[in-house]
A = this chain, B = another copy of it.
């Protein structure tokens, strides 16, 4: 397997400890768990998505673990502005604050709360199961562009996270780029449902949810590859990454780094374990392989 050289890197303007970033919404609601993931080897962490008002989330079940993936409909629970307090203990650590809102103004407002603390913002315009938020606005290129511009005013790196639940993801990617995004994160979860045949009901409280984990890896690779052909800003690959080989594959598709979420369930020390496989003293620079599958 190809191995990469070790050491801090920059991902789309953000100094990180390695190429492996904790994905938004996974163990991301409190500083202590974010810090734990950094301790266990994450190169950076993205927080739970924070919005303009506290939200308590959808009724349960919120998560079901499938054989080859996870389906969730959390409903964007978050403490809103109190999260500023939560992050106060961080000092220079690579913490990327994920934010969401119902329109560009809300995005701008929420980002403002964190303008001091965040190393970068990640815009959640892609959660597939919260009415009025996430993918409900992330399927409209104009809105995505406007939200990106609104957050860009805070002069921090802005990553825009896209939904795969669109006919053509490149139109949304290009909109983010036009809005001034520093990077695209692809992808959020794939809209999905499972039904309990015993109880004759969709198993998630919200009925619809988002599929993540191994099952969506080929979809995520495809989206990264498509975006790499269409956009010129960096892409962070996300979706089903669960081993070092997957990281290399995402990079060959065009990703400069990856985010990892669901794989934490099978292995809470995933970041350390992937790093052990991925990095070597005589490893090559990631630049040598990013996008090489396009040649």
Total number of A residues with any Cβ neighbor in B under 8 Å:
42
A2 in contact with B197 (CB, 8 Å): yes
* Interface-central residue, A197, A211, A225, A295, by most chain B CB under 10 Å: A197
Chain B residues with CB under 8 Å of A166's CB are 166-167
Say whether A218 contacts B201, CB under 8 Å. Answer: no
Provide 21 A-B residue pairs closer than 8 Å at the C-beta atoms, listed in order of the A residue: A68-B68, A68-B214, A71-B218, A139-B167, A166-B167, A167-B167, A190-B190, A193-B218, A193-B225, A195-B225, A195-B249, A195-B252, A197-B245, A201-B293, A202-B225, A202-B293, A208-B222, A211-B218, A211-B219, A214-B215, A215-B216
Indicate whether A200 reaches chain B with its CB closer than 8 angstroms: yes
Which positions in A face B, CB cutoff 8 Å?
Answer: 1-2, 66-69, 71, 139, 165-167, 190-195, 197, 200-202, 207-208, 211, 214-219, 221-222, 225, 245, 248-249, 252-253, 289, 292-293, 295
Contact, CB under 8 Å: A1 / B197 = yes
* Chain A interface, >50% SS class: mixed
